[in-house]
Amino acid sequence: MKKRLSIQEYTNGIIAGNRMILSRAITLIESNLAEDKQLAQCVLESILPNTGKAIRIGITGVPGVGKSTFIETFGKYLTTLGKSIAVLAIDPSSQLTKGSILGDKTRMEDLAHEPFAYIRPSPTGTSLGGVTNKTRETMLLCEAAGFEIVIIETVGVGQSETYVHGMVDFFLLLMLAGAGDELQGIKKGIMEMADLIAITKTDSGNEISANLAKIEYESALHTFPPDGSGWFPQVVTCSATQKKGIAEIWELVEKHREMLSKNGKFVENRKSQNLAWMHDFIKQSLEQNFYTNHNVSIKTKEVQQAVIEGKKLPIHAALELLKVFYNNK
Ligand code: GDP
């Protein structure tokens, strides 16, 4: 890693919109070194007053649904409106397999060359929770750097989309037409979180099945109880390659923001997301401290065996480990 800058240098650079310093600050946030973590927290604290102004959009969908193609087209459309856009990714695969479902920034090469766009691939980490926290912090840096729209992309096949839903204002689910009843492995819970479902690849003779899928998803959405925001989730069709339905999607994002800003739900949602972030962080820190405690790990080996052999109740084993932890802090 390059030489670290001072808190002031990071802060001034970020606020001035200096890309190089923004990237270095993100690298600092992604670092697991204790001194980097400390410096990163100071930088975050000092840019905090400049955060919160962007529209935060989460985009999810199964691999192959067309996320990167969509984000490229959507992002370029937004830049033609004069908006600046940052794209961040949470890739749940990278912790498990060291591989990547989302790939890196070469996926959106055109957009990456736009002067008003900034693309940052997934941070790596040992836990999805940890990666998610880093993405939240990165989002704040991008906001402080002046980006008006922050897109957070993830694959809708596991837990990561729930995390993303918890950090954005608007949640867009991309779906394929012709998926049938099983809804392509997208769990009902994900559909329930969506503010908008966009059926991708509505082109090349795919229009009829896309419109049928639209009706199907609309009726599925009707079975969900309202989320209390006053917004009713919608379904649209689009084609990223033919640039169809893209402007309409942006209009809906703006309409959603307008409606929720008026009825106070926008701010309310951000407040509860911040509280959830605090609690997430507490849980992760406690868990990490627990499992990295030397005495706990020695004792774990011992009691695990007793649990496996049925000689000890899991709950008793857990209580013993917790006792070791609290006596050895
Ligand atoms: P991701 O895995 O969800 O990011 O999906 P990609 O954006 O990589 O797209 C997967 C495939 O679908 C690629 O071969 C794209 O060229 C294709 N694709 C994406 N969007 C469209 C579209 O609007 N129309 C058509 N016909 N193909 C598309």
The domain that contains 28 carries what CATH number? 1.20.5.170
Q: 112-137 pLDDT, tens per residue?
A: 888 888 998 877 666 777 788 899 99
**How much is the pLDDT for 255?**
97
156 and 297 inside one domain: no
* Cα-to-centroid distance, 254 and ligand 1 (Å): 25
The residue among 9, 34, 49 that closes a domain is 49
* Cα-to-centroid distance, 251 and ligand 1 (Å): 22
Q: Are 197 and 173 in contact (CB under 8 A)?
A: yes
Q: Which domain holds residue 297?
A: 293-327
The residue among 263, 282, 305 that closes a domain is 263
Residue 220 burial class via C-beta count within 10 angstroms: exposed 0-12, middle 13-18, buried 19 and up = middle
246 and 322 inside one domain: no
201 and 62 inside one domain: yes
Q: Which protein residue has the closest C-alpha to ligand 1 atom 20?
A: 66
Check if 66 has its Cβ closer than 6 Å to any atom of ligand 1.
Answer: yes
Asked if residue 97 is part of any domain, the answer here is yes
Q: Which protein residue has the closest C-alpha to ligand 1 atom 25?
A: 201
Asked if residue 281 is part of any domain, the answer here is no
* Cα-to-centroid distance, 116 and ligand 1 (Å): 23
**How much is the pLDDT for 116?**
87
Asked if residue 273 is part of any domain, the answer here is no
Percentage of the chain with pLDDT > 70?
A: 90
pLDDT tier, 105 (very low <50, low <70, confident <90, very high otherwise): very low
105 and 190 inside one domain: yes
Asked if residue 206 is part of any domain, the answer here is yes
61 and 118 inside one domain: yes
116 and 224 inside one domain: yes
Q: 142-159 pLDDT, tens per residue?
A: 999 999 999 999 886 678
Asked whether residue 92 carries a pLDDT value surpassing 60, the answer given is yes
Check if 205 has its Cβ closer than 6 Å to any atom of ligand 1.
Answer: no
The residue among 263, 280, 309 that closes a domain is 263
pLDDT tier, 97 (very low <50, low <70, confident <90, very high otherwise): low
pLDDT tier, 62 (very low <50, low <70, confident <90, very high otherwise): confident
Which has more confidence, 54 or 220?
54
18 and 118 inside one domain: no
99 and 11 inside one domain: no
Check if 64 has its Cβ closer than 6 Å to any atom of ligand 1.
Answer: yes
CB atoms closer than 10 angstroms to residue 289: 12
For the chain, the domain total comes to: 3
Asked if residue 279 is part of any domain, the answer here is no
100 and 150 inside one domain: yes
Percentage of the chain with pLDDT > 90?
A: 66
Asked if residue 268 is part of any domain, the answer here is no
25 and 56 inside one domain: no
**How much is the pLDDT for 84?**
97
Which has more confidence, 107 or 108?
108
pLDDT tier, 21 (very low <50, low <70, confident <90, very high otherwise): very high
89 and 8 inside one domain: no
Asked whether residue 171 carries a pLDDT value surpassing 70, the answer given is yes
Check if 157 has its Cβ closer than 6 Å to any atom of ligand 1.
Answer: no
Asked whether residue 103 carries a pLDDT value surpassing 80, the answer given is no
Asked if residue 178 is part of any domain, the answer here is yes
CATH number at residue 124: 3.40.50.300
Q: Could you tell which of 59, 65, 69 is best to mutate to test the pocket of ligand 1, judged by most ligand atoms within 8 Å of the CB?
A: 69
Asked if residue 220 is part of any domain, the answer here is yes
183 and 247 inside one domain: yes
Q: What is the chain's mean pLDDT, rounded?
A: 89
**How much is the pLDDT for 273?**
96
**How much is the pLDDT for 132?**
85
For residues 234 and 218, what is the distance between their CA atoms, to the nearest angstrom? Answer: 7
